[in-house]
């Protein structure tokens, strides 16, 4: 005696069955691994089966010449040579806040923020409009505004002739001493 299996014919059961069938059929879709061909017509090692040779890739030097890497740009910045760019100065709200080296920002000190000079470095900053200069100690990181190379304390800004009204000035930053690691 053979019994017929009675399956419910409700819409919920039908939708549930379709979902299960779809989920199970999705298990068959697998991305190729290192041991499987990458595509139809490819050999097990991934090479094309066509007789046409594959395009040669550009040599590493050609790639570097066509587009410089971000690492190369930062390495140039880290040579610690003279830099010419725009200086700004710390806003009053930063007075008393901790800087990257752990000290508190004192608006009356000759401290500054620079992106790449090591903390503790000393440098001469010269205002290219006035010719006035000051020696600064790098104690913080920044400025994080495109085109600016140094953030100065208000005291240093006054010393080189950078007024609050101007806000920005073209400067040259020349490292004087860089601490040993």
3-state secondary structure of 163: coil
pLDDT of residue 74: 34
Using H for helix, E for strand and C for coil, what is the string for 19-69?
A: HHHHHHHHCCCCCCCCCCCCCCCECCCCCECCCCCCCCCCCHHHHHHHCCC
Lowest average pLDDT, out of 24-38, 59-73, 152-166, goes to 59-73
Q: Specify the fold of 74-177.
A: Barwin-like endoglucanases (2.40.40)
pLDDT tens digits, 49-91: 555 545 555 444 444 444 433 333 333 345 578 999 999 988 8
pLDDT of residue 69: 38
Domain borders along the chain are 74-177
Helix (H) or strand (E) holding 127: strand 122-127
CB neighbour burial string for 21-31, b if at least 16 within 10 angstroms, e if fewer: eeeeeeeeeee
Task: Write phi, then psi, for 129 (nearest 5 degrees).
Answer: -85, -40
Using H for helix, E for strand and C for coil, what is the string for 133-162?
A: EEEEEEEECCCCCCCEEEEECHHHHHHCCC
Question: Sign of the C-alpha dihedral, residues 98, 104, 108, 114?
Answer: negative
CA nearest to 154, candidates 88, 86, 84: 88
Are 174 and 138 in contact by the 8 Å Cβ rule? The answer is no
Specify the residue for token string 């004192």: 106
pLDDT tens digits, 87-146: 998 888 999 999 999 999 999 999 999 999 999 999 999 999 999 999 999 999 999 999
């Amino acid at each position: 005696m053979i019994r017929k299996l009675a399956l419910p014919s409700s819409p919920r059961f039908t939708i549930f069955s379709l979902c299960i069938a779809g989920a199970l059929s999705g298990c068959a879709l697998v991305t190729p691994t290192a041991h499987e061909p990458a595509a139809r017509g490819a050999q097990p090692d991934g090479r094309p089966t066509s007789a046409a040779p594959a395009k040669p890739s550009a040599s590493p030097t050609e790639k570097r010449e066509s587009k410089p890497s971000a690492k190369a740009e930062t390495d140039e910045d880290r040579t610690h040579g003279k830099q010419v760019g725009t200086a700004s100065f710390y806003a009053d709200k930063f007075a008393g806040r901790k800087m990257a080296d752990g000290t508190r920002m004192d608006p009356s000190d000759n401290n500054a923020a620079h992106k790449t000079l090591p903390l503790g470095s000393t440098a001469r900053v010269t205002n290219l409009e006035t010719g006035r200069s000051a020696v600064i100690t790098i104690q913080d990181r920044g400025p994080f505004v495109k085109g600016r190379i140094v953030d100065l304390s208000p005291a240093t800004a006054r010393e080189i002739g950078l007024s609050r009204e101007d806000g920005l000035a073209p400067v040259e930053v020349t490292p004087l001493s860089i601490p040993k690691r």
